[in-house]
Amino acid sequence: MRTSRCSKAGWRSTFEAAKRAANDAIEAVLTGDASALKLRDSDRHTYLRAVEILEPLDVKLDVAARDYADARIMLAGKATLAEVCRDWLRRHAVELPRVTVPAAVELMKNQAKADGKSAPRLKQLANVLDRFAELFNQEVHTLTPKLISDYLTTLALAERTRRNHRDVIGFFNRWLVLRGYLVKGTDWLEGVQNYTARKLGQISTYTAAEMRRLIAAADDRILPMIVIGGFAGLRHAEIARLEWQDIDLEEGFIEVRAENAKTARAGLCQ
């Protein structure tokens, strides 16, 4: 029994000494004393060289290792870190001109008018982008997909109309890239919900009595559109592109030219 107590006391003394030695080594490493590490010569040389490289950057070795590992995982062998850095520097070598969203919207609307865009298209751009600019009174390069997604989500509009807003904002985004206001590859719609363009709900037709009431109440400016849409079966966009010379009242035909048709094919409607 006496021998057992002596052995136990000796073991306890050895264990406590080992713990103190381990704690001292950890403390030495944390305070920068690399000599406390019990490494092979090659490993110790690698560690000291890594610490020396990172010292001017004031970056800890474990932080650098974590960042490097994250980058390698994201790249998945498609490129090296140096290649990615060179590409980023090339695309950001020239400082982009600064412009706010409201100013850019006015520039694009003026450009669309100068390019001869149709009146419905000009109206659509104004309806969507004026509202957009009113909320985002900031420089265009500060917008992100998250901001665009939140904006579209809060619009109290039907899904089809929300899809139209999304498309116009995407067009505005591409226009800014082409004009050099945004870095090439900027995509405000990345990850943003792509709302359906399908009309929801049951499709029905007007009765003869309903058409008579519509015609009787219609303003003279829109009466031709209501009549052509109701009795010739043309789409709204196709009617908007018609000219009076396309309508033959004597023969009772409407010519839909290929450039005005949704299917890009010419035809006659009776």
Radius of gyration of the chain (CA): 35
**What pLDDT score does 198 carry?**
59
Whether pLDDT at 218 is above 60: yes
pLDDT exceeds cutoff 70 at 8: no
DSSP conformation letters of the chain: -HHHHHHHHHHHHHHHHHHHHHHHHHHHHHTT-GGG----HHHHHHHHHHHHHHGGGT--HHHHHHHHHHHHHHHTTSS-HHHHHHHHHHHTSSPPPP-BHHHHHHHHHHHHHHTT--HHHHHHHHHHHHHHHHH--SBGGG--HHHHHHHHHH--S-HHHHHHHHHHHHHHHHHHHHTTSS-TT--TTTT------SPPS------HHHHHHHHHH--TTTHHHHHHHHHT---HHHHHT--GGGEETTTTEEEE-GGGSTTS--EEE-
Q: What is the pLDDT of residue 3?
A: 47
pLDDT of residue 174: 96
Render pLDDT for 85-141 as a digit per residue (tens, 0 to 9): 888 777 666 677 899 999 999 999 999 999 999 888 999 999 999 999 999 999 999
pLDDT of residue 21: 66
CATH 2.60.40 fits domain 101-178: no
User: Residue 82: how many CB atoms within 10 A of its CB?
Assistant: 8
Compute CA distances 198 → 161, 166, 176, 221, whole Å: 10, 15, 29, 29
CB 260 within 8 A of CB 241: yes
| Residue 242 pLDDT greater than 60, yes or no | yes
Q: How confident is the model at residue 42 (pLDDT cuts 50, 70, 90)?
A: confident
pTM listed for this prediction: 0.50
pLDDT of residue 128: 96
Residue 187 has pLDDT above 70, yes or no: yes
pLDDT at 145: 95
Of the ranges 4-8, 123-127, 136-140, 218-222, which one carries the lowest mean pLDDT score? 4-8
Dihedral angle computed from the Cα positions of residues 197, 201, 207 and 211, in that order, rounded to the nearest 10 degrees: -40
**Region 199-221: what's the mean pLDDT?**
80
**Structure token pair of residue 202:** 């049951």
How far is the C-alpha of 125 from the C-alpha of 121, rounded, in Å?
A: 6
Over the chain, what is the mean pLDDT? 81
Distance, CA of 97 to CA of 100 (rounded, Å): 10
Domain boundaries, the chain: 2-91, 101-178, 208-269
pLDDT of residue 269: 53
Split at pLDDT 50, 70, 90, the class of 50 is confident
Which pLDDT belongs to residue 64? 87
- What mean pLDDT is predicted for residues 232-246? 80
